[in-house]
Amino acid sequence: MATEIVANYDLEALDVEFDSLDALDIIDWAAREFGDDLALSSSFGADSAVMLHLATRVKPDIKVIAVDTGFLFPATVAFREELAKRMNLNLLVYRPKTPREEFIQEHGKMWQSSPDACCAFNKREPFDRAKRELGVRCWLTGIRREQSATRKNSPIVQKDHLGLMKLCPIANWTAKDVHYYLQENDLPYHPKRAEGFLSIGCEPEEGYCTTKVKPGQDPRSGRWAGFDKTECGLHVHEQGGGI
- Mean pLDDT of the 225-243 span: 42
Mean pLDDT of the chain: 85
Of 151 and 107, more confident:
107
pLDDT at residue 204, as a whole number? 67
**Is 24 a residue whose pLDDT tops 90?**
yes
pLDDT at residue 218, as a whole number? 60
- CATH code for the part of the protein at 6-187: 3.40.50.620
Q: What is the DSSP letter of 188?
A: P
Whether 209 is catalytic: no
pLDDT at residue 221, as a whole number? 57
- Mean pLDDT of the 189-206 span: 82
Q: Which of 107-111, 117-121, 215-219 has the lowest mean pLDDT?
A: 215-219
- One-character DSSP codes across 5-36: TGGGS-HHHHHHHHTTS-HHHHHHHHHHHHGG
Instruction: Write phi, then psi, for 63 (nearest 5 degrees).
Output: -70, 125
In the chain, domain spans: 6-187
Sheet holding 165-167, edge to edge: 90-94, 63-67, 38-41, 138-140, 165-167, 157-160, 241-242
Check 118, 119, 138, 232 and give the catalytic one: 232
Of 223 and 25, more confident:
25
Kindly report, residue by residue over 61-83, the tens digit of the pLDDT.
Answer: 999 999 999 989 999 999 999 99
pLDDT at residue 42, as a whole number? 97
pLDDT at residue 194, as a whole number? 85
Cβ-in-10-Å burial (0-12, 13-18, 19+) of 114 comes to: middle
pLDDT at residue 241, as a whole number? 33
- Please report which confidence band the pLDDT of residue 110 belongs to, taking 50, 70 and 90 as the band edges: confident
- In sequence order, which ranges of the chain are alpha helices (DSSP H)? 11-18, 23-34, 49-58, 74-87, 100-107, 110-113, 115-119, 125-134, 175-184
**Is 88 a residue whose pLDDT tops 50?**
yes
Contact call for residues 51 and 142 (beta carbons, < 8 A): yes
Of 142 and 153, more confident:
142
Question: Pairing relation of β-strands 63-67 and 38-41?
Answer: parallel
Contact call for residues 18 and 166 (beta carbons, < 8 A): no
Question: How many CB atoms neighbour CB 101 within 10 A?
Answer: 9
Of 214 and 159, more confident:
159
Alpha carbon 166 to chain centroid, angstroms: 11
Contact call for residues 39 and 64 (beta carbons, < 8 A): yes
Contact call for residues 4 and 25 (beta carbons, < 8 A): no
